[in-house]
Structure 1
Amino acid sequence: MRILMVTSFPIVGQTDGTAMLAVQVFRALKRRGLDVAHAYLKLRRPWDVPFEGEFEGSPSFTLTPSRWISGMAEIRKRFPFDLVHAEHYGGATRALAACELHKWPMIYSIHSLLGEEVERDKLGRGLVFRTYRTLERRVCRYASGVVVLGHGVKKIVVEEKGVPSDRVAVIHPGVNLADYAPGPAAEIPGIGPEHKVVMYVGNIRDPNQGVPILLDSFPRVAEAVPEARCVLVGGPSEVGEAYRQQLGRFGDRLIVLTGKTPDEITALTRRADVLVHSRLACRENDSVQTKMAVYLASGRPIVATNYGDYQHLLGDTGAGLLTPVDSDALADGIIEVITDANLASRLAAATRPAAEEYICMDRNVDRYLALYETALRLGPRRRSSKAEATA
């Protein structure tokens, strides 16, 4: 089986969560022995010429808008792929025309819900949102299969986007657990052996991530545990400075680390006394984010707000302490974990079995292959003219 992974973002040299999700899938498929190539369907700088390079020994093509259709056809001649695996709504909507024209099966991997992300700062949403929404509806009518990152997203995709349930697979973000072998913890400026590290990893600006809830909870944590320090691993840096001002007299206990590579993040998590994700209860968080794969793989105690699949991944497995979406409740949970060694040990011990079951890429790839085989057997979806008219 040959797979062409299509993205709307580069993957060479990228370390953000969106790109790393695609990279982990790409690598896992290759480890399983599949032939995989990559196509970056670029939107900006449309006057650039197409480019052929490589990513970790596999072909990687960059196509400008004028070549999204003809360029993919040329790739097909040189790399006769069996199906297109489109990452995120950007990759899926840009690859749609070529797939429809040539009747190539497409797998659409949904990172996050389109309606919750695009132009969220515009009242009523603008032209970009409306265009993406129209194209994504066509993708959902066409796609041979859909990958979602949470059971809540599957419900929305089935009930609101009209994709048959048997064509939707819940596959949580995964990592290669071999990359998280025991090793030394990274040194953090301003952190000594006496400090208790409350750590968050990921984007610190987007409101759905709930970092402000963590910051609101921290003064109470700091008063109860004076040696507590809050470490945010992510950016942008100017947001971190605003958070430091917000903490007032506790601002000097906040450390923000930006621009870290995946290997550096792995070493940093080893220093965490507790990893925290205080995400909000909103539709955008129906998708489990890549950070939870990193958290589970790290083997450290986890405190998270109780929403969506976190009950499934953390509560049912015993791998995390769940709290309501509330700063006081979150503070109580953090204090309990960093002051109760037995509880912290139990949570940490439960992370490995949960990681092996839900976020191990070598296991997740079986789930992808099952969906691929279904997609190839059933082919792209078809609708009668009557059904199209009704839609």
Structure 2
Amino acid sequence: MRILHILDHGLPMHSGYTFRTRAIVKAQQSLGCDVRCLTGPRHSAPGPAVEVVDGIVFHRTPAPPPARAPIGEWREVGAMRARIEALVREWRPDILHAHSPVLTALAAQPVARRHGLPLVYEIRAFWEDAAVGNGTGREGSLRYRATRWLETRAARRADAVAVICEGLRGDLIARGIPGDKLFVSPNGVDMALFGDPIATDPAFARQIGLEGAEVIGFIGSFYDYEGLDDLIEAMPRLIARRPAAHLLLVGGGPMEAALKAQAAASSAAGRIHFTGRVPHQEVERYYALVDVLAYPRKAMRLTELVTPLKPLEAMAQLKLVAASNVGGHRELIEDGVTGTLFAPDDPDALADALAGLLEDRAIWPQRRAAARAFVERERNWSSNISRYRAVYQRLTGKAS
């Protein structure tokens, strides 16, 4: 079976989006599928029009001339549509699989209809809620409502709709999308990448000032909705109870400058360490330094509906996980069994949860084992991929 994935961006760029895509494609390749990817104009990494990255063929869409919204977005849709059309004529895929944001589906749908190809639309987050989460939109605004309408329309027109969690599925059903059109393909972990944790490197810990420390960590992108400002605010209270506590922040993003300024003004400034973005192949070295991974996401529609990927990677790495009690985290974490949940938007509750975990080391082995078992049993990409296969077979009539 030939599968064309249509993406906002892809490797070699690094994000949760690209790592999920990689996992899907690699699993499909392992089943003998012929897979290619097409990225949209927002893919910003330099490179040729067609390139192979990590054994995956990527076709790129050149960026159209910039323009203000919504003209700029429609130009992007037109550019992607032309590339999809050309690739369909040249390569003859059996199925099109567009991944959010909704621009990819808008580009793919007319091509799919013209050529009689089935279209799967995969929603990883609603575009309107993602805009609110990253600070570029406002809930209830005209643009928000227009984007929501486009998202719903795209889901209605697709032959099947994949979502990453039950929160998104329930929201689409409430919009009138038939439940039998929807299927959940949850975030998962490639155990070949994260399933064999490495030991802590004492020299590396000493090099970055963490020798002998109790390390709270966050590894990911610095968006406002991640609540890292609450994590920084919690540090003085945590240090008062656990004098050896340090905070390690690995990554970068829109909030980086503001977070660094907040940390510099904190009485815990000397205990807060920023590494910047690190190469993906080095991430495990940083995981190895951390005792507890903290995910203090703020309470909002995005975090209530959407499950993140990073807590699963931490569980696979046999790390303790503490997360805010929002819907997306509750789908992944059973409080007191596979992780610890605390009240969102509450630095004091966050500090108390972290201190409690650091003080009760007797529970660590059982907690780590339970979390790892959950990932292996329910969030392993090698088993998740079967959800796509059944849908593809139904839509194309082909066995593989």
**TM-score of the superposition, structure 2-length normalised?**
0.84
Deviations for 1:206-226, whole angstroms, at most 9, x for unmatched residues? 222121222222211111011
Number of equivalent positions:
372
Cα 1:49/1:219, change in 2 over 3 Å: closer
Q: Is residue 217 of structure 2 the alignment partner of residue 199 of structure 1?
A: yes
The equivalent of 2:387 in structure 1 is: 367
Alignment of 1:1-391 (within 5 A): 1-9=1-9, 11-42=10-41, 51-64=49-62, 65=76, 67-89=79-101, 90-118=103-131, 120-122=135-137, 132-160=147-175, 162-180=176-194, 181-185=196-200, 187-188=204-205, 189-204=207-222, 206-236=223-253, 237-246=256-265, 248-285=266-303, 286-315=305-334, 318-325=337-344, 326-376=346-396
Contact 1:317/1:354 (<8 A) preserved:
no
Code of the residue aligned with 1:338 in structure 2: it is L
Structure 2 gaps, min length 5: 63-75
Instruction: Give 1:129 shift.
Output: 5.3
Contact 2:252/2:277 (<8 A) preserved:
yes
Distance in 1 of aligned mates of 2:189 and 2:54: 17
Code of the residue aligned with 1:5 in structure 2: it is H
Distance in 2 of aligned mates of 1:357 and 1:317: 19
For structure 1, which segment, 136-145 or 271-280, has the greater mean C-alpha deviation from structure 2 after superposition?
136-145
Instruction: Give 1:366 shift.
Output: 1.1
Distance in 1 of aligned mates of 2:120 and 2:188: 17
Two-structure CA RMSD over aligned residues (Å): 2.7
Deviations for 1:27-64, whole angstroms, at most 9, x for unmatched residues? 2211222111011122689xx99922223334321134
Cα 1:312/1:289, change in 2 over 3 Å: closer
| 3-state SS in 1 of match to 2:319 | coil
Distance in 1 of aligned mates of 2:26 and 2:366: 32
Contact 1:323/1:333 (<8 A) preserved:
yes
For structure 1, which segment, 283-292 or 135-144, has the greater mean C-alpha deviation from structure 2 after superposition?
135-144
Distance in 2 of aligned mates of 1:56 and 1:315: 35
Instruction: Give 1:159 shift.
Output: 0.8
Distance in 2 of aligned mates of 1:151 and 1:334: 28
| 3-state SS in 1 of match to 2:186 | coil
Cα 1:138/1:376, change in 2 over 3 Å: farther
For structure 1, which segment, 190-199 or 249-258, has the greater mean C-alpha deviation from structure 2 after superposition?
190-199
Distance in 2 of aligned mates of 1:172 and 1:38: 20
Cα 1:118/1:193, change in 2 over 3 Å: closer
Instruction: Give 1:282 shift.
Output: 1.8
Distance in 2 of aligned mates of 1:309 and 1:117: 14
**TM-score of the superposition, structure 1-length normalised?**
0.86
Code of the residue aligned with 2:92 in structure 1: it is P
| 3-state SS in 2 of match to 1:112 | coil
Instruction: Give 1:347 shift.
Output: 1.4
Distance in 2 of aligned mates of 1:2 and 1:121: 37
Distance in 2 of aligned mates of 1:75 and 1:127: 35
Distance in 1 of aligned mates of 2:49 and 2:143: 26
Contact 1:93/1:132 (<8 A) preserved:
no
Distance in 2 of aligned mates of 1:16 and 1:84: 22
Code of the residue aligned with 1:334 in structure 2: it is L
Aligned-residue sequence identity (percent) comes to 23
Code of the residue aligned with 1:3 in structure 2: it is I
Deviations for 1:80-103, whole angstroms, at most 9, x for unmatched residues? 211111111242233233223333
Cα 1:364/1:49, change in 2 over 3 Å: closer
Cα 1:341/1:371, change in 2 over 3 Å: same
Distance in 1 of aligned mates of 2:336 and 2:391: 26
Cα 1:155/1:57, change in 2 over 3 Å: same
Distance in 2 of aligned mates of 1:201 and 1:244: 17
Instruction: Give 1:111 shift.
Output: 1.6
